[in-house]
């Protein structure tokens, strides 16, 4: 476990059992509402779900009678489980590992990356890989903090910029931008950090 992993685990240990944990889960529902543009995917990948399953439980619950492949990837599932934090939901597969190392021939109708690309060694340089995992017509639901230098810390130690984002999209498979919004204080107006929310659809 890296130092960043230890800090991430400590964060979840701190908030679990507090009102903030409930707020965190509710906020993910708000993000889904903000994204919109849902086309009932049959296969969904979420990058960095954390111990509560990310948005996958809500996505699956929205279409309980439609067979749906739900896959979460996170490097800390075993650590969360050992700490008594992991909440397993039926119908979700939990794959432990770093997305940077993730290799598969599988393609997905939807991929969620919510507040994950500025964690660990992640970054906008992974966007071509993420978009490459989409089926034609598949959609990437992306929430991205453009942290200025004064908001960097030991666990979020690299700053992503709009310029780097645009370059990564240019280097990816072609996409249609279905929705894009910039927020000065994140989506829920709680934190003063420029935040991008966008839905990108891979062209056929």
Q: What domains, with CATH codes, occur in the chain? A: 3-202 (3.40.50.150)
Per-residue confidence band for 187, with pLDDT thresholds at 50, 70 and 90: confident
**φ and ψ of 189, to 5 deg:** 65, 30
pTM of the model: 0.94
pLDDT of residue 203: 97
Highest mean pLDDT among 32-36, 39-43, 195-199: 195-199
pLDDT of residue 125: 95
User: Tell me: the pLDDT tens digits for 27-38?
Assistant: 888 889 999 888
Give the closest residue to 110 by CA, choosing from 25, 165, 24, 35. Answer: 35
User: Tell me: the pLDDT tens digits for 72-108?
Assistant: 999 999 999 999 999 999 999 999 999 999 999 999 9
Q: Which residues pair with 94 in a beta bridge?
A: 72
Burial 49-70 (b: 16+ CB within 10 A, else e): bbbbbbbbbebbeeeeeeebbb
User: Tell me: the pLDDT tens digits for 128-163?
Assistant: 999 999 999 999 999 999 988 888 888 888 888 999
User: Tell me: the pLDDT tens digits for 4-23?
Assistant: 999 999 989 988 777 777 87
183-188 long-range CB contacts below 8 Å, 24 or more apart? 186/145, 187/30, 187/31, 187/34, 187/143, 188/27, 188/30
**Helix pair 19-35, 3-15: axis angle to 10 deg:** 110
Burial 124-161 (b: 16+ CB within 10 A, else e): bebbeebbebbbeebbbbbbbbbbeeeeeeebbeebbe
């Amino acid at each position: 476990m890296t130092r960043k992993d230890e800090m991430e685990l400590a964060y979840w240990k701190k908030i679990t059992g507090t009102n903030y944990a409930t707020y965190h889960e509710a906020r993910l529902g708000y993000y889904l509402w903000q994204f919109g543009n849902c086309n009932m995917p049959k296969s969904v990948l979420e990058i960095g779900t954390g111990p509560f399953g990310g948005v996958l439980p809500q996505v699956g619950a929205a279409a309980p009678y439609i067979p749906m492949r739900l896959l979460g990837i996170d490097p800390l599932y075993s650590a969360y489980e050992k700490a008594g934090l992991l909440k397993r939901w039926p119908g979700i597969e939990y794959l432990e590992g770093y997305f940077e190392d993730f290799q598969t021939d599988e393609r997905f109708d939807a991929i969620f990356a919510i507040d994950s690309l500025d964690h660990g060694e992640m970054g906008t340089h992974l966007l071509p890989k993420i978009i490459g995992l989409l089926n034609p017509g598949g959609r990437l639901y992306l929430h991205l903090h453009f942290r200025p230098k004064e908001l960097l810390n030991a666990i979020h130690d690299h700053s992503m910029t709009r310029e780097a984002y645009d370059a990564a999209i240019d280097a990816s498979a072609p996409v249609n931008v279905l929705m894009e919004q910039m927020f000065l204080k994140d989506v829920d107006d709680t934190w003063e950090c420029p935040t991008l929310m966008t839905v990108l659809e891979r062209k056929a």
